[in-house]
Structure 1
Amino acid sequence: MKVLRFFLFPFAILYDFVTKIRNLFFDVGVFKETSFKTPIIVVGNLSVGGTGKTPQIEYLIRLLQNRYKTAVLSRGYKRLTKGFVLVRDIHKAIDVGDEPLQYFKKFKAISVAVDANRVAGVAKLINEQNAEVVLLDDAFQHRKVKGSFNILLTKFNDLFVDDFLLPTGNLRESKTGAKRADVILVTKCPNDLDQSSKAKVLKKLKKFDKEVFFTTISYGNKVLGSKEFSTTDIANYEVLLITGIANPKPFLEFLSNLNVNFKHLEFADHHHFSEKEINDIKTNFDDLPSNKLLLTTEKDYVRLHDKLSDLCYLPIETLFLNDSKNKFDTLINSHLKEKV
């Protein structure tokens, strides 16, 4: 794979040229950016997938939902519907995408919608749902909506500054795109991040002159789904693990640290499971010895729970490190106080 990416280097140069021209046209006004009086908080990345956008959106929902009429807009990746859809109880992941459905099911006080046309989608949420703040999921490159506050995510062990443009690397656009961010969140850090490692990251990001925060993934203390029990008790089960996310490695490491004996069936990110695949999963699960557990991620659970009756999941949350939570929360609240 690395050899193939090396030979695709000329296409990466072409891709870089195209994305830079596109961004220049937005910067000078050839392409229109639409601004709204309502604050628009953009969460996104420069890389392809797996930086922790979903738990970060959920963090913002928890922070804001009791103070502002909050809405989330996503494009609804891999959905089969078209146009603007306001997520309702009747919808499944195939209708609106797994992440929007997850937001809707967890947070009943907010509005969740999908629309590939971000401008039209934001306008509908403001005008029809009376949204006071809109969270744009995975929209850092979708510049037709001008965010009032832009949050850029980058993984600790795969910083955008160390990467290269597609298809040679995983960047969607040049590293200079980070200049549009208001803050940079370094995600999926080790829980015991030391000052030396933190300093190395800050040195690499210094040239962008942005406030930098360090976060990690915090796994829930309870397994949920068809049964509910303490996370530490997963080790008592023979586990069949199903994942369809961009980067399952942290989850695998977490289970290994709990001394869990598991078999892993890995699928592509946002994978929609066929009937044959579901039957294969059931067969693999039936083949396990007694006291077995069918486990998946929270995002995969949204797509699978109506097909696998024994399914459980482990929820995750974003956790800010180095006592920086209050500083980040104050930054967001101060921004909204000026706008709302």
Structure 2
Amino acid sequence: MSAVLAFLLLPFSWLYAGVLAVRNWLYDVGWKRAATFAVPLLNVGNLRVGGTGKTPHVIWLVEELLRQGHRPAILSRGYGRQTSGPRLAGPADSAATVGDEPWQYFEQFAARRVVVAVAEERRLGANLLLREHPETTVIVLDDAYQHRAVRPTLNILLTELARPFYEDYVLPAGRLRESRSGAQRADAVIVTKCPPDLSEADQEIVERQIRRYSRPEVPVLFSAYEYAAPQALPDAAAISLPTALTAGPAVLLTGIAQPGPLREELEKQGFEIQYHALFPDHYIFMPADLTALRAYWQPGWPIFTTEKDATRLLAPGLRAARAGLPLYTIPVRVAFLNDGGAALRQLLPPAPTAEA
């Protein structure tokens, strides 16, 4: 967006921010009530529209909670699904019925008995989880920072290093869902997608900017992405694919908000991206999209995509269109800088004892 257009849209941003400020004030003073539950709610959210790295941070939290002896569940809105209302993810579901991110969680954690639910109204989703799975000890909320109808026990705010909330404006002049003052509700702020060698001096500069809006006692942490080796897409219709790839020409296929870091990582590994099929976040792939992709692909070239995109690419309706395409995902995980991981662990609720 040009600076001139952003300036012209500022009055609309002020109006939108004012409406949200009144709504937040009503919750803050108790005139609108937020639901609480018998188990802790850990929310991972952001102020900005678009990808700030929520999915890998949710995965980090769930992995840590499991390690500590919790029975965690995950609750998401289920953006982009073709169903509505509260729903527990099950083996018969797909990205179409629960959404791409919840389906990714289900596929990753179902074997470890982590329940995944989706609901536009998180209160109804939490009630469903606890009614059907009373063994749940903690619920991780995916992207509920603006969903004030439930009250998180721990509110984790993510912001990208390259696009920090303190340099942005409220929609439509910028990309913020609410004003910067929303950072006051955070119990921890994580600056995401940092280079692993981000200097302490640069971290201090960012932290000072964040502390203009956050509470003074709130920890400001920094995280980077770690990329695992490429994984062949688990698809019975696919050809037999080599597990080890050598650097060279490749194609990239994405339907996420911020594909830049993945492309940079692939290029750093020596892959030459000959074509990037770039689609909007949560895009529902069609057979024609994969047919068009073949015009830019040559046999022997791997086609890389994300774990989230893979949940949609494996739709039964795409089986014929993807046949013979060497599709690979690049698993992404979170690594905290300095002692950020230890600091976040200290904020997590203790697992109940066996006697409890």
**Corresponding residue for residue 206 of structure 1:** 211
| More displaced 10-residue stretch of structure 1: 197-206 or 221-230 | 221-230
Partner of 1:302: 311
Number of equivalenced pairs = 332
Q: CA deviation at 1:333?
A: 4.3
Matched, 1:43 2:55: no
Correspondence for 2:334: 318
Shift of 1:281: 2.1
SS in 2 for 1:142: coil
User: Residue by residue, what CA displacement relative to the aligned partner does 1:57-114 show, whole Å, maximum 9, x if unpaired?
Assistant: 0001111125111110111001110111111111121111000000000011200011
Q: How far apart are 1:157 and its partner, in Å?
A: 1.4
> Is 1:119–1:144's contact at 8 Å kept on the other side of the alignment?
yes
What is the one-letter code of the residue matched to 1:217?
Y
Measured in 2, the distance between the counterparts of 1:163 and 1:275 equals: 37
Deviation at 1:282, TM superposition (A): 3.4
Task: Please tell me the residue identity of whatever aligns with 2:229.
Answer: N
Amino acid at match of 1:196: A
Q: Secondary structure at the match of 1:95?
A: helix
- Contact kept, 8 Å, 2:230 with 2:329, in 1: the verdict is no
Conserved? CA contact 1:165–1:171, under 8 Å: yes
CA distance in 2, matches of 1:228, 1:15: 52
Give % identity: 38
CA distance in 1, matches of 2:337, 2:232: 26
Cα distance in 2, alignment partners of residues 283 and 89 from structure 1: 35
Map Cα deviations across residues 237-268 of structure 1 (whole Å, 9 max, x no partner). x2111010001111111112122111111000
Does the CA-based 8 Å contact 1:222-1:228 persist in structure 2? no
Equivalent-residue separation in structure 2 for 1:8 and 1:185 (angstroms): 29
**Matching of residues 165-204 of structure 1 within 5 Å:** 165-204=170-209
Pair 1:239-2:250 in alignment: yes
**Correspondence for 2:237:** none
Using the alignment, how far apart are the partners of 1:127 and 1:325 within structure 2?
A: 32
Task: Quote the offset at 1:212 in angstroms.
Answer: 0.9
| Aligned pairs (5 A) from 1:132-171 | 132-171=137-176
Residues 295 and 168 of structure 1, relative CA distance in 2, 3 Å threshold: same
**Aligned residue type for 1:265:** A
Q: Report the secondary structure of 2:37's partner residue.
A: coil
Q: Given that residues 189 and 221 in structure 2 are in contact (C-alpha distance below 8 angstroms), is that contact kept between their aligned partners in structure 1?
A: yes
Q: What amino acid is aligned across from residue 142 of structure 1 in structure 2?
A: H
Q: Is 1:116 matched up with 2:112?
A: no
More helix by share: 1
2-structure distance, mates of 1:107, 1:142: 25
**Contact 1:126 1:132 (C-alpha < 8 Å) held by counterparts:** no
Q: 1:234 to 1:60 in 2, by over 3 A?
A: farther
Give the conservation status (yes or no) of the 8 Å contact 2:47–2:178.
yes
- 8 Å contact kept, 2:154–2:187: yes
Contact 1:224 1:314 in 2 (8 A): no
1:275, CA displacement in angstroms?
2.7
What is the rounded CA distance, in whole Å, between the counterparts of 1:203 and 1:32 in structure 2?
33
- Which of structure 1's runs of 4+ aligned residues deviate more than 6 A? none
**How far off is 1:37 after superposition?**
2.1
CA deviation after TM superposition for structure 1 residue 147, in Å: 0.5
Letter in 2 for 1:282: R
What 5-or-longer segments of structure 2 have no aligned partner? 235-240
> For the residues of structure 1 that align with 2:340 and 2:157, how far apart are their CA atoms?
16
**Secondary structure of 2:80's match?**
coil
Among residues 259, 273, 276, which one is paired with 2:270 in the alignment? 259
Amino acid at match of 2:28: D
Find out whether 1:329 has 2:333 as its counterpart. no
Report the Cα offset of residue 195 of structure 1. 1.3
Secondary structure of the structure 2 residue equivalent to 1:331: coil
Contact 2:40–2:349, Cα closer than 8 Å, also in 1: no
Q: Helix, strand or coil for the counterpart of 2:348?
A: helix
Match of 1:79 among 47, 57, 81: 81
2:238 aligns with none
For 1:147 and 1:101, the matched residues in 2 are separated by 23
Amino acid at match of 1:293: P
Alignment correspondent of 1:54: 55
Q: In 1, distance between residues paired with 2:352 and 2:20?
A: 34
Which residue identity lines up with residue 280 of structure 2 in the other structure? A
Q: Which position in structure 1 is the counterpart of 2:231? A: 223
Alpha carbons of structure 1 residues 162 and 106: separation in structure 2 relative to 1, 3 Å = same
**Local SS of the residue matching 1:65:** helix
* Structure 1 residue 222, shift from structure 2 partner: 3.9
Task: State the TM-score, normalizing by the size of structure 2.
Answer: 0.89
Task: Establish whether residue 275 from structure 1 lines up as the match of residue 280 from structure 2.
Answer: no
